Structure formats: C-alpha cells, structure tokens
C-alpha cells in the first residue's frame, strides 16, 4: 500500500541488510514515523507496546525478532530464550505462537553458524506468505462484496461495518477484513465503510480511518455503540471483521466489542463475515469461548485517551475521576453460530469444524 505515493509494507529489512524497520503505529494517524529494531528486546518491546499490532503483523515481527536474536546468540539456549521472550509479549493473537514455533522448528536442527541466515530467510518468507494470503482473502471476500452489491437496489453503495483495524497496518500488506474492501474499491464497486472507533485504543478511529482515507475509500468513524442502531436502520449491508485467533470450531476471538456487533448483526439479519488467514486458526482448540486466552491490558488505556490539540501537539488526557479503577479485557470471542462465513485464503467457508476442515484437511486431520 502507498503512503504519500511511496509503496510500503508494515515491516521490512533496512538498507544495512540486518536491522528491521517498522511503522510506529502508536504515532498514527498524526505522525508517520519509522522505527528501527536492532535486537530481540527491540522486537519484543515493539509487540508488547503495540508499535506493531494485528495478529499477522505480530507474527511477522516475531519471526524477524528471532532472526535478530540469532545474531546475538545462536546457541540452543539463545533460541529457547528468544522463543520464550517473544511468546510472553501478547497472549491472544495465535500468529505469534505459529511464527515462533515455525522458526524454532526450522532452526533447532541446523548448525549454529547457519542459523542467522536461515532465520532471516524464513522471516522474509513469512512476510511474503502473509502478503499472498491476505491478497487471496481479498479476492475471495471481493465475491462476497460483489454479491452484496448485486443485491443492493440502485447503484449502491454497499455499506460495510468493520471493527478495530484489520487493514494493511494489521498485516504485512493488504489486510484481512479490509483486503476485500480494497479489491472491491479497485474494481469500482461503490462502498461506504462504517469504522467503529474501537475503544480503548481507538484502532478504528486512528488506523482504519487513516488507511481508508489514504486510499480514497468512502468511510465514517462511528462511536462503538452506534453499530446496532445503524443496522436497525438498514444502513449496514455487511459486517467484516478480522480475528486474532479462531478456534477449530469457528469461534472467533477479535478486538473487544466484536461480539456485540455480531449479536446486533444476528438480530438484524446482517451477514457477519470474518477475514481469516490460516495462521490465525488455532487447531488445538475446539471451544473458543472457553479456551482462547484473553489479554488484559493496563487500566490507563481506559482511563486516558490521547489525541492532537488544536496547536498540533499530541497529548494524553484523563477521562475518569482521579483514582478510578478500570478493567481492560482487550478481546472477546464471538461464537461460531453468529458468524455467517469465514473468508480464508482458500475460499469462504462456514464457521464450523466441518467448514474449516473442508478447506484445510491437512491441519484438521492432525487433531
Ligand atoms: O490489539 P490489536 O490491535 O493487536 O488487535 C487487532 C485486532 O483485534 C484486529 O481487529 C484484527 O481483527 C486482528 S488482526 C487482523
């Protein structure tokens, strides 16, 4: 995707050939700043503090984090330390575990002096694979949007509600939920996107709005509580969200608030789709509501909010009375029964064990 006319991915190897550059997403939408990661600790910090976020990008950063770690210590102990350090950064997005296990499996039987090269090569491949997966999700989701457009009276637009940010910033490129939207926009299908603000960190207001605006996709940010009302009024044709971990049963963990949108969609007969790259499927879990670990983040994300003043300064302000406690569960799980379909890189399937197993028999059968 392009920023000010220049094509960017969200993570790439720097010109020195070994350090890793990322877009610091904590600065968006007001500042576009690039951060350089030079060590395992830099990569772990970038994930933990959400300079990078979104399940696929967390996985890609972890893969490069392993490569950076191998430069410092490519011993077996170094490999285990890097795996454990990165694994502890964020608990819900399963792409983290997927990428770390994949890297360790490829490195552990290799001679120590070859591990750095292999790690960089594989991290680059993880990024390229993510781009291909997200592009394919875009192609399959495009058919869903096209069908919604065909069913729309007149010339549209198709009104799509999304939650949080599952755009190119959440992946290496394209996005998951937003990939079909970009592909439909490229084809000239008229669209309008309702972007939930997504408290407490406002990924919708800050990141989704920034992405869509830069690509000329018609959109409006809405308060998190507005979705149900918009659906009742017939102003939403389709919901598409991303996911941070989807159980083999089709239960979908995503940013807190997604479940409420799925309930409202169900009550109003609005189709609710989820863009799902296969590394986000946790084949070990058969009950997502019970078993997906939900990250609890700091209370300050709820009690405070940051934004740009009229003078252009970025400041954080307190919303709540002094000393007010806050709870901050960062994700929720939408049961499969509320999900119309999963848009994967292999096609669209039912949110069910059979649906996922039909598209990915090689993984499903290993359980
Ligand atoms: O806490 P984040 O910003 O890492 O969470 C990301 C999300 O929940 C996104 O909505 C997304 O659907 C998952 S990543 C494509």
- Provide the CATH number for the domain around residue 25: 1.20.120.420
Other CB atoms within a 10 A radius of the CB of residue 8 amount to 17
| Sequential DSSP letters for 61-88 | HHHHHHHHHHHH--SHHHHHHHHHHHHT
Q: Does 244 sit in the ligand 1 pocket, CB within 6 Å?
A: yes
Residue 93: DSSP 8-state: -
How much of the chain exceeds pLDDT 70, in percent? 99
| 118 and 259 part of one domain | no
| 91 and 214 part of one domain | no
Q: How far is CA 127 from the centre of its chain?
A: 14
| Sequential DSSP letters for 26-57 | TSTTT---EEEE-SHHHHHHHHHTTSS-SHHH
C-alpha–C-alpha distance, residues 339 and 225, integer Å? 20
Q: Which of 128, 158, 183 is the last residue of a domain?
A: 128
Residue 115: DSSP 8-state: H
Nearest CA to ligand 1 atom 6: 54
| 119 and 146 part of one domain | no
Catalytic residue, chosen from 102, 244, 282, 332, is: 244
* CA distances, 13 to each of 17, 90, 143, 173, 310 (Å): 6, 23, 34, 15, 36
Q: What CATH number does the domain containing 285 carry?
A: 3.40.50.10470
Q: Which of 85, 102, 128 is the last residue of a domain?
A: 128
Higher pLDDT, 126 or 5: 126
Q: What is the pLDDT of residue 153?
A: 82
| 192 and 161 part of one domain | yes
Residue 208: DSSP 8-state: I
| 73 and 148 part of one domain | no
CA of 232 to the centre of ligand 1 (A): 26
Nearest CA to ligand 1 atom 5: 54
| 212 and 306 part of one domain | yes
Q: What is the pLDDT of residue 367?
A: 47
Q: Does 89 sit in the ligand 1 pocket, CB within 6 Å?
A: no
What confidence category does residue 364 fall into, taking pLDDT thresholds of 50, 70 and 90? confident
Site to substitute for ligand 1 among 49, 164, 207, most atoms within 8 A of C-beta:
164
Q: Which atom of ligand 1 is nearest to the CA of 244?
A: 13
| 124 and 149 part of one domain | no
Q: Which atom of ligand 1 is nearest to the CA of 176?
A: 15
In this predicted structure, the answer to whether residue 265 has a pLDDT above a threshold of 90 is yes
133 within domain boundaries = no
CA of 309 to the centre of ligand 1 (A): 27
Mean pLDDT of 96-101: 98
Q: Is 313 a catalytic residue?
A: no
| 268 and 143 part of one domain | yes
CB 328 within 8 A of CB 299: yes
Site to substitute for ligand 1 among 22, 28, 55, 56, most atoms within 8 A of C-beta:
55
Site to substitute for ligand 1 among 169, 199, 242, most atoms within 8 A of C-beta:
242
Could you list the residue range(s) of the whole structural domain that residue 275 is in?
138-364
Residue (of 3, 23, 25) closest to 12 by Cα position: 23
User: Greatest CA span in the chain, whole angstroms?
Assistant: 64
CA of 46 to the centre of ligand 1 (A): 15
Q: What is the pLDDT of residue 365?
A: 59
Q: Does 332 sit in the ligand 1 pocket, CB within 6 Å?
A: no
Q: Which atom of ligand 1 is nearest to the CA of 255?
A: 8
Pairing of strands 191-196, 158-162: parallel
CA of 337 to the centre of ligand 1 (A): 21
Q: What is the pLDDT of residue 155?
A: 85
167-226 pLDDT, tens digit each: 999 999 999 999 999 999 999 999 999 999 999 999 999 999 999 999 999 999 999 999
314 within domain boundaries = yes
Average pLDDT of every residue of the chain: 97
Residue 103 is encoded by which pair of tokens? 């890297």
In this predicted structure, the answer to whether residue 154 has a pLDDT above a threshold of 90 is no
CA of 164 to the centre of ligand 1 (A): 6
Number of domains in the chain: 2
Residue (of 14, 68, 75) closest to 42 by Cα position: 68
| 105 and 197 part of one domain | no
10-42 pLDDT, tens digit each: 999 999 999 999 999 999 999 999 999 999 999
CA of 253 to the centre of ligand 1 (A): 9
Q: Which of 69, 104, 128 is the last residue of a domain?
A: 128
- Beta-bridge partner residues of 6: 3
Mean pLDDT of 96-104: 98
């Amino acid at each position: 995707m392009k920023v000010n006319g220049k094509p960017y991915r969200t993570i790439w190897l720097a010109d020195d050939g070994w350090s890793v550059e990322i877009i610091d997403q904590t600065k968006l939408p007001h500042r576009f700043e690039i951060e350089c990661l030079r060590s395992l600790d830099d990569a772990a910090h970038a994930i933990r503090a959400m300079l990078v976020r979104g399940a696929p990008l967390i996985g890609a950063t972890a893969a490069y984090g392993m490569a950076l770690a191998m430069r410092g210590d490519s011993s077996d102990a170094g490999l285990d330390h890097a795996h454990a350090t990165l694994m502890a950064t964020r608990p819900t997005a399963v792409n983290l575990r997927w990428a770390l296990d994949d890297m360790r499996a490829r490195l552990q039987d290799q001679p120590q002096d070859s591990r750095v090269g292999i790690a960089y090569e594989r991290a680059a491949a993880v990024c390229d694979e993510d781009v291909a997966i997200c592009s394919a999700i875009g192609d399959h989701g495009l058919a869903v949007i096209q069908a919604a457009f065909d069913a729309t009276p007149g010339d549209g637009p198709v009104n799509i509600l999304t939650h949080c940010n599952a755009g190119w910033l959440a992946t290496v490129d394209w996005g998951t939920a937003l990939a079909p939207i970009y592909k439909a926009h490229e084809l000239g299908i008229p669209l309008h996107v309702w972007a939930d603000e997504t408290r407490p960190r406002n990924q919708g207001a800050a990141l989704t709005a920034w992405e869509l605006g830069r690509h000329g996709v018609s959109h409006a940010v809405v308060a998190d509580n507005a979705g149900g009302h918009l659906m009742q009024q017939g102003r939403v044709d389709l919901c598409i969200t991303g996911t941070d971990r989807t159980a083999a049963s089709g239960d979908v963990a995503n940013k807190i608030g997604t479940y409420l949108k799925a309930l409202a969609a169900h009550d109003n007969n609005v189709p609710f789709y989820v863009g799902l790259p296969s590394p986000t499927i946790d084949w070990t879990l058969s009950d997502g509501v019970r078993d997906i670990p939900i990250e609890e983040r700091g209370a300050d994300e709820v009690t405070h909010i940051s934004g740009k003043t009229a003078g252009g300064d970025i400041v954080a302000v307190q919303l709540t009375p002094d000393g007010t406690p806050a709870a901050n569960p960062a994700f929720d799980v939408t049961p499969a029964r509320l999900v119309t379909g999963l848009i994967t890189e292999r096609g669209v399937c039912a949110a069910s064990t059979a649906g996922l197993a039909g598209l990915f028999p090689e993984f499903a059968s290993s359980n």
